[in-house]
Structure 1
């Protein structure tokens, strides 16, 4: 997927909905309806980028359904299924101090409070109790293990420095 560092994926078109060109969307925003606050999307699929506007959308059961501007045919809509929905990061709301978007955490080098490098944050997983950092080993890491570290600020995550690209965790490397 060709997404620049100034963009982030906020959802994915999963399937068609109805016969008038609507599609179902899996939203990565919290709350899931937040995806409807971004009217200008770039759809990224198979290396192709298509700018498109959101015509209308709404909550439908546990998900979201939307109509894209200029799309009124089910078969045309089907062509967008599987596309990631990308927006520029500068259109996202400013977060309070100490809060971060997932895309800001991805790619940070993770070190223990003792200074041991565990690797880089590859992605995060949402669980029922707390989010989990998936840390993949790098050449500088103490070993080549992938680690799942709970994202618990002030408990496990002690420091995040976006400017230096580093996160410090209170985590036993053997765990």
Structure 2
């Protein structure tokens, strides 16, 4: 959740789902507060420019809403739709070890980046303690991405 919006307790909200409005069908939401999971009761939401503004139950003014800024929300993974074969959630890809077709270790996926053309794997290679190296590999299944084994957290790529 972002900054407070207005004086009535609304908060700017950014969705990272592919279809931005889909986040509102994945209720309930959770936050981690004082090392315990807490459910957020959403009262209302509106589309506002290229983002959303939300109202949370019992947050009626700006000062209370300010305590919720810069808070990440979480959902239960079981709420997400079942994927087709060869489709993956980013969360499943992160922490996979990446090897090229000659079995050379390239790094571990630390993030994915979305651009207009395709997603990009961001790897970090920590083999050499002195030189932590980051590598970007286009996530193009078939051409570059040869095999994804989510169970064993391994990705094989055609990459040097």
TM-score, normalised relative to structure 1 = 0.82
In the TM superposition, what is the alpha-carbon distance from 1:46 to its structure 2 partner? 8.0
Query: 2:100 matched to which residue of 1?
Result: 112
In the TM superposition, what is the alpha-carbon distance from 1:70 to its structure 2 partner? 2.0
Contact 2:27/2:75 (<8 A) preserved: no
Give distance in 2, aligned partners of 1:87 and 1:30: 15
Q: How does 1:32-43 map to 2 (within 5 A)?
A: 32-43=20-31
Deviations along 1:107-139, one digit per CA (max 9) or x if unpaired, are 000010111111110011112221111101144
In the TM superposition, what is the alpha-carbon distance from 1:72 to its structure 2 partner? 1.7
Q: Which has the higher strand share?
A: 1
In the TM superposition, what is the alpha-carbon distance from 1:49 to its structure 2 partner? 4.6
In the TM superposition, what is the alpha-carbon distance from 1:40 to its structure 2 partner? 1.3
- SS class of match (1:50): strand
Give distance in 2, aligned partners of 1:47 and 1:170: 42
- SS class of match (1:103): helix
Q: Mark the runs of 5 or more structure 2 residues left unpaired by the alignment.
A: none
Q: Mark the runs of 5 or more structure 1 residues left unpaired by the alignment.
A: 1-12
Give distance in 2, aligned partners of 1:84 and 1:164: 28
* Regions of 4+ moved over 3 Å: 44-50
Please say which structure displays the higher CA radius of gyration. 2
Mean CA deviation greater in 41-50 or 91-100: 41-50
Query: 2:10 matched to which residue of 1?
Result: 22
In the TM superposition, what is the alpha-carbon distance from 1:14 to its structure 2 partner? 0.8
Matched, 1:95 2:78: no
Query: 1:83 matched to which residue of 2?
Result: 71
CA RMSD of aligned residues (A): 1.9
Query: 1:53 matched to which residue of 2?
Result: 41
Give distance in 1, aligned partners of 2:121 and 2:33: 26
Contact 1:160/1:168 (<8 A) preserved: yes
Deviations along 1:39-82, one digit per CA (max 9) or x if unpaired, are 21112468675321222213211001111122222111111110
Contact 1:45/1:82 (<8 A) preserved: no
In the TM superposition, what is the alpha-carbon distance from 1:93 to its structure 2 partner? 1.1
